A and B are shown apart, each in its own frame.
Chain A
Amino acid sequence: MKAKMLRKVAGLAVATAMAAAPAVADEDAELVINGEIEIVTRTAAPAHLDGHLNEVISGWVFRSDRTQAMEMDDFDNPGMLFVDQARDIWATAEGSEGKSCADCHGEPEEMAGVKPVYPKWSDSAGQVMTLQMQVNECRTERMGAEAWGVDKGGSIPMEALLSSVSRGMPMNVAIDGPAQETWEKGKEIYYTRFGQLELSCASCHEENYGNMIRADHLSQGQINGFPTYRLKNTKLNGVHSRFKGCIRDTRAHTFNPGSPEFVALELYVASRGNGLSVEGPSVRN
């Protein structure tokens, strides 16, 4: 009885529009970063979303004009402070082998094309790896350095750096082949209603994007812009941390960052944005 009431209330809250319309984004605005990197923020949904979404839209579109503007210049975007930090980490030798990332990989710019295909299946690891997992594998296996925690230590700045050099390239994670099983698992989690409010990711991000939830303009929950600098906590945030926050906010018992469930969910959610440009580090509310 109570559960049904709560679901109805939750549904009502989600559907109600604010009386005073906030300065919501100009839905036709285009995103060009530094006057040169063209970012695709709206495009046809990938085939696997047939029947669910016609168009996929970056979170950038849903933010206010001023928040959008903060992402358009790398000197306005506070996320770039952490990309700078990562450049220093990139060039610094660490671990028993006395190597830096640069020793094997050259300049960060040479890593363009890596972010758009992660998470992806790794034959050697026998599982789907997120970009952070892959970075840690390099650190432990080839640098003799310690792994960073999920969304901790250098993980976020490094993911932001690797993202920044791929900006403008379309997200293109594989959903078939050896990754398929993980992808299916992620899809199942996405559409399962959890917790006290019995909400699934889809309840808000597929069925109600564009509506207001209290004072928040609901996005499609795409992750092409991650890691993202959030105005609310003035730091870069990672995907798994965001999943955890979202699930906790809907009053469900959340999975842990780094868990197989979140790895699968990250793969699935990334695939929902296939076609959108890599945008990170982005700026969001």
Chain B
Amino acid sequence: MKITRRDAVAMGIGATAMAVLPMRAMAAIDELVNDFTGGADIGTGDISLDAPEIAENGNTVPIGVSAPGAEEVILFAPGNPTPPVATFKFGPAAGEQAASTRIRLAKTQDVLAIARMADGSFIQTTATVKVTIGGCGG
């Protein structure tokens, strides 16, 4: 593929942007995660995210989260202008510590879910969702 000058400039700018953005984004998400966990360690465990590999449209992405035994699960979209998505509290009448909803994702990113278990520990999982720009219909 012939790379035009325009392509090279675009790639260059893109690369610079990439270098700057993740740092800022990561700082913001760390703070939000800390607010939820109080600084506690987060491990892995029985928590899963049900998300499409490629979102049909970023405006309405079906997503499910499941964490058996959790009291509270928080969902973040770190690639969004405002990362918090939802916090689910499960009560005594819940049939499962799981829920599905539809969310907005601004761009391709790793959706993050953290659960606070009944014993006070925290576990997390992520799922990569690709968000594309449509064609003529998009």
A interface with B by C-beta (< 8 Å): 20, 22-23, 63-64, 66-67, 69-70, 204, 212-216, 218, 230-234, 245-246, 249-250, 285
By the criterion CB–CB under 8 Å, are A215 and B133 in contact? yes
- Contact string against A for B residues 29-43, beta-carbon threshold 8 Å, 1 for contact and 0 otherwise: 000000000000000
- Chain B positions within 8 Å of A234 at CB level: 59-60
Q: How far is the CA of A249 from the CA of B135 in the complex (A)?
A: 9
B132 A215 Cβ-Cβ under 8 A: yes
Contacts of A250 in B (CB 8 A): 136
> Knowing A214-B134, A216-B138, A249-B136 touch, does A232 contact B59 (C-beta < 8 A)?
yes
Find out whether the CB atom of A216 lies under 8 angstroms from the CB atom of B137. yes
Are the CB atoms of B53 and A204 closer together than 8 Å?
no
Measured between C-beta atoms, what is the minimum distance from A190 to chain B in Å?
16
Residues of B45-69 whose CB lies within 8 A of A: 52-54, 56-57, 59-60, 62
The answer to whether B133 touches A214, judged by C-beta atoms less than 8 angstroms apart, is yes
Which of chain B's residues have a CB closer than 8 A to the CB of A63? 56
Distance from B127 Cβ to chain A, minimum over Cβ atoms (Å)? 13
4 other A-B residue contacts (CB within 8 Å) besides A214-B138, A215-B54: A20-B130, A214-B134, A215-B133, A233-B59
Docked complex Cα distance between A215 and B58 (Å): 12
Interface size on B, residues (CB 8 A): 16
Q: List residues of B (62-112) whose CB comes within 8 Å of A's CBs.
A: 62
**Closest-CB distance, B125 to chain A (whole angstroms):** 19
Residue in B54, B60, B133 whose beta carbon sits within 8 Å of that of A22 in the complex: B54
Check A213–B136 contact: CB distance below 8 A. yes
- CB-CB under 8 A for A246 and B54, given A70-B62, A231-B60, A234-B60: no
**Interface, chain B (partner A; CB < 8 A):** 52-54, 56-57, 59-60, 62, 130, 132-138
Nearest A-chain residue to B60, judged by Cβ: A231
Query: Which of A69, A213, A246: most chain B CB closer than 10 A?
Result: A213
A64 in contact with B59 given A215-B132, A232-B134, A246-B136 (CB within 8 Å): no
Chain A residues in 8 Å Cβ range of B135 = 212-216, 218
- Chain B nearest Cβ from A23, distance in angstroms: 6
Q: Are A232 and B53 in contact (CB under 8 A)?
A: no
Could you tell me the distance between the alpha carbons of A207 and B5 in the complex, rounded to whole angstroms?
34
B99 CB to closest chain A CB (Å) equals 14
Contact A285 B134 (CB under 8 A): yes
Roughly how many angstroms separate A216 CA and B60 CA in the complex, as a whole number?
15
**Cα separation A67 to B60 with both chains bound (whole Å):** 10
Residues of B within 8 A of A233 (CB): 59
